[in-house]
Amino acid sequence: MTVHHSPIVLVSSDVKPVDGYEWHAAARTYLSAVIERADAMPLVLPSFGDALDLDAILERVDGVMCTGSRSNVYPPLYGGEASERSEPYDHDRDATTLPLIRRTIELGIPLLCICRGMQELNVALGGTLGVEIQDEAGNMDHRAPTSEDQSVRFSIRHGVQVAPGGCLGRIVSSSQILVNSLHRQAVARLSDRLEVEASAPDGVIEAVSVKGARGFTLGVQWHPEYWAKSDTPSSRIFEAFGDAARERAAARSKS
């Protein structure tokens, strides 16, 4: 008898000091979207950098998701300068996710990178980031509106143009979708290993994929996890990621 198990998705963690402890955690919205829309089981990876045996971990999972976060990628990691204005930083997360992303791609494991995760993807592959992009002439303000209500902060506000025939285009079956993009940083110099999958009206890169990737690899600057239950494009992104993870799980079970 063949037993079918849910695919396992490794999820990045933020390191946060709370109640006198240092917590390695991921927000519920990301975990719920993996369970409810990707139909997979999330497993949070602690951010212990090079103390982790990534190969031993990755051979046991079927997908990897790098989440968004309030923290920003540390600018010296891509040749920039750190400043108080672009804080907070999360050095432990950087030390974990950048090598994790590179190895995930090398092994052909399905990879979904959201917001900070997409920025990590670009940096991991040699690209750079712009900080406080709302200050640049011609740019929209991509920051979240000020509100105590998360649904207001994560409201779907602007359109993105989807590249025809790309990974994202095949998933959403549309040349334009509306997104909830909340960020102060964005891709500056795009890694030569990445392909643009969507752009905002001001030209800011909003989605990317890895050229010639062995497995599903998508980075989005917005937050599909928040409305994954009610917004069709958001749901489709997680469904496609889950399908790719199931394919890997099936292949692993035969090996």
Q: Give me the active site residues, please.
A: 115, 223, 225
Contacts of 101 (CB under 8 A, 6+ apart): 64, 66, 111, 113, 120, 121, 124, 125
Beta-carbon neighbour count of residue 27 at 10 Å? 15
**Reduced to 3 states, what is the DSSP secondary structure of residue 25?**
strand
Q: Which backbone phi and psi does 227 adopt, to 5 degrees?
A: -110, 25
Q: Where are the beta strands (DSSP E) in 133-224?
A: 158-162, 176-179, 186-187, 194-199, 205-210, 217-220
**Reduced to 3 states, what is the DSSP secondary structure of residue 50?**
helix
**H or E element at residue 194:** strand 194-199
Q: 104-115 burial, b if ≥16 CB within 10 A, otherwise e?
A: bbebebbbbbbb
Tokens representing 88 are 């907070």
Report d(CA 46, CA 31) in Å as an integer: 15
β-strand 194-199 against 186-187: which pairing, if any? unpaired
Q: Which backbone phi and psi does 213 adopt, to 5 degrees?
A: -65, 145
